[in-house]
Amino acid sequence: MSVDGPLAPEPLLPRPEPPPGPFEELRAGNLGLRLAESPAEIDAAQALRYQVFYAEMGARADAATAGARRDVDEFDAVADHLLVLDHDRGDGAEAVVGTYRLIRRPGAQRLGRFYSESEYDVAPLLAFPGEVMELGRSCVAAPYRTRGTLQLLWRGIAAYVFRHRIDLMFGCASLPGTDLDALAPQLSYLHANHLAPPALRPRALPGRFVAMDRLPIARLDMKAALVDLPPLIKGYLRLGGFVGDGAVIDAQFNTTDVCIVVKTDLVTDKYYRHYERTAGSPREE
């Protein structure tokens, strides 16, 4: 399918029923991954977000944020918070070393919008006929920034998507810094190779739109630009992810954002097949 042509809704393949009961913790050695179960665990995630976004990455804190040393906003109350726990440190809030915020459509409806709508017109995504989910506020404590931790996070997202039958996920992903000249190769690479199909293409809001096609293709070192992308964005691309039209400078967080769109087929296909084997239900092709 050409990414430049219209994207008609594709029939969804039959899927096994999600497992009953609560979201079960996933384990990888001493690390576990599950949803936050208490206000204390959400508070620990917010403290970690402050450490990474403000103390490390140079986000600008207002007085309340600096005083609390917490990254908090109104979307936290309507989200599920995926947590990475180091069980060598404990089993609750004291063990939180990674987090990812997940917002489904019902949660966004409680506030009247998704977080991404402060930067992008996401109407094409909201019109998608399946279930949608926004991802954001992803961060991991410095000692745990390993391939294994990232793989555990992806396993958790796949399990969550499977449980809630999510068909499309999206969110603002960040490039570090706001120097557009320095980021020109990465932005140009994304625009040239991964622009979303028109039917699934969010667009940066008019007052915030920054053109991504900043360098001629002939001048682009595609391999170098891909290597320089943040690991999270490269992970989305490996799953067949697209980007919206236009980047957005987030001066508060000292980042340049792109809107990522991922149909969940590739995210969950391996998980579906594993679950079908363990559940004993053959997949219909």
Residue with tokens 């943040």: 230
Give dist(CA 100, CA 167) in Å, integer: 18
pLDDT in tens, 231-268: 999 989 998 999 999 999 999 999 999 999 999 987 76
The two structure tokens encoding residue 64: 């309340």
Percent of the chain with pLDDT over 90: 79
**32 strand-pairing partners:** 27, 85
pLDDT in tens, 67-85: 999 999 999 999 999 999 9
- Cα 235 to Cα 3, 112, 123, 173: the distances in Å are 19, 29, 25, 11
Cα–Cα nearest to 160, from 262, 270, 82, 244: 82
Top pLDDT among 71 and 284 is at: 71
Please compute the mean of the pLDDT values over residues 197-215 and round it to a whole number. 97
In what helix (H) or strand (E) does residue 46 lie, and over which residues does it extend?
Answer: helix 39-50
Give dist(CA 68, CA 65) in Å, integer: 5
**85 strand-pairing partners:** 32, 96
Q: Which domains can be identified in the chain, with CATH numbers?
A: 27-277 (3.40.630.30)
Mean pLDDT score across all residues of the chain: 89
pLDDT of residue 272: 56
- Predicted TM-score (pTM) of the model is 0.87
Cα–Cα nearest to 78, from 101, 111, 107, 40: 107
How do 255-263 and 80-86 pair as beta strands? Answer: unpaired
pLDDT in tens, 103-161: 999 999 999 999 999 999 999 999 998 899 999 999 999 999 999 999 899 899 999 99
Cβ atoms of 202 and 127 within 8 Å: the answer is no
